[in-house]
Amino acid sequence: MPKYCRLNAVLRKIAYFLQLIDDEPRISLSNIAFLVILGKIIVAQHVDWPALVTLSITCLNLMHDRQSNISTIDDVKELTDKLSNVENIVTQLKAKI
């Protein structure tokens, strides 16, 4: 495996850990904006209102993104039913073996 492939894989893992990218990998602009504004507030001597308002809007955007992603996930009951079906199939195959 070439060096640049390993480096690319390591950089992708770091960016995923910092939540700069998601699974697909797409860049998460709301997470990047959150980190930039939070860094500005931490480093600044005096916190100004525009920075705080921008941080709160970014937080609301992050919460909205996470809520909209949760609504696309299947219901827990459906997932439990699918899992029990798989368990039944596995037990039947195990009995045949």
Greater pLDDT, 95 or 34? 95
pLDDT 10s digits, 38-69: 888 888 888 888 888 888 888 888 788 777 76
Q: What is the total count of domains within the chain?
A: 1
Share of the chain above pLDDT 70, in %: 90
Round to whole Å and give the CA distance between 48 and 44. 9
What is the value of pTM for the model shown?
0.52
DSSP string for residues in the chain: --HHHHHHHHHHHHHHHTTSB-SS--B-HHHHHHHHHHHHHHH-SS--HHHHHHHHHHHHHHHHHHHHHHHTSPPHHHHHHHHHHHHHHHHHHHHH-
Residues 12 and 21 sit within 8 Å (Cβ to Cβ):
yes
Domain that holds residue 85: 3-96
